[in-house]
Amino acid sequence: MKSLIHVSQRNRLQRGLTLPELLVAMVIFAIVVGFAVPSFQGTLRKQELNSQLGLITSTLAYARSEAISRRKATVICATADQTSCLSQADWSSGWLVFVDEDADGTLDAGEEILRAGGESGGDSSLTVVADAGAPYAARFNIDGERVAGVNALSVCQGDATSGADTLHSRTITLTNVGSNRVSTGATCP
């Protein structure tokens, strides 16, 4: 009798899931994952957009503060090679900040590059809307005022480039006094 009790306790402890129980658990797990993944992707897209916004606004603030502290004009412009400025509206390859010694708004030999970076990652792309006839760069004078060039930056992401989804785009507006503000929605190409 003692051995029968011992065998039944051991069988009860070693008992696992049956095949139907395991299949039901897997179906429930698949349903939960099916609801979680799209929500998680939206969170990642929003974080990517916020990251791009933070990077460009901090770089604009840096360019302005360097103009004030160095008492020399600084420029932020689009770049593809991190060593020269581009004359185009697409800043998705990156940008650079340099000291504009001769205050002509272009990067010349001998002018110091202060910061380079900003390559777009994932689904984000950065496009620029410049003043009519102005170069695709923003120049700050020794007082930190924006004196020429770009007056707005559009950060476009995913479906925003089709013009149908303005919730996934932001506009950074540069004021003449050198500050900037971010607003929802942008005109994306």
Residue 145 belongs to a domain with what CATH number?
Answer: 3.55.40.10
pLDDT grade for 24, boundaries at 50, 70 and 90: very high
pLDDT grade for 89, boundaries at 50, 70 and 90: confident
Q: With 60 as the cut, is the pLDDT of residue 96 above it?
A: yes
pLDDT grade for 61, boundaries at 50, 70 and 90: very high
pLDDT value of residue 123: 59
| Contact of 174 with 59, CB cutoff 8 Å | no
- Determine if the pTM surpasses 0.85: no
pLDDT value of residue 15: 67
Domain holding 135, by residue range, is 24-184
Q: Is residue 19, in this structure, part of any structural domain at all? A: no
pLDDT value of residue 160: 47
| Contact of 77 with 60, CB cutoff 8 Å | no
Mean of pLDDT over the chain: 79
Number of domains comprising the chain: 1
Query: What are the C-alpha distances in Å from 13 to residues 41, 120, 188?
Result: 42, 56, 63
Q: Is residue 8, in this structure, part of any structural domain at all? A: no
| Contact of 127 with 169, CB cutoff 8 Å | no
Over residues 62-91, the mean pLDDT reads: 88
Q: Is residue 139, in this structure, part of any structural domain at all? A: yes
Q: With 60 as the cut, is the pLDDT of residue 2 above it?
A: no
Q: Is residue 189, in this structure, part of any structural domain at all? A: no
Two tokens, residue 189: 């190409």
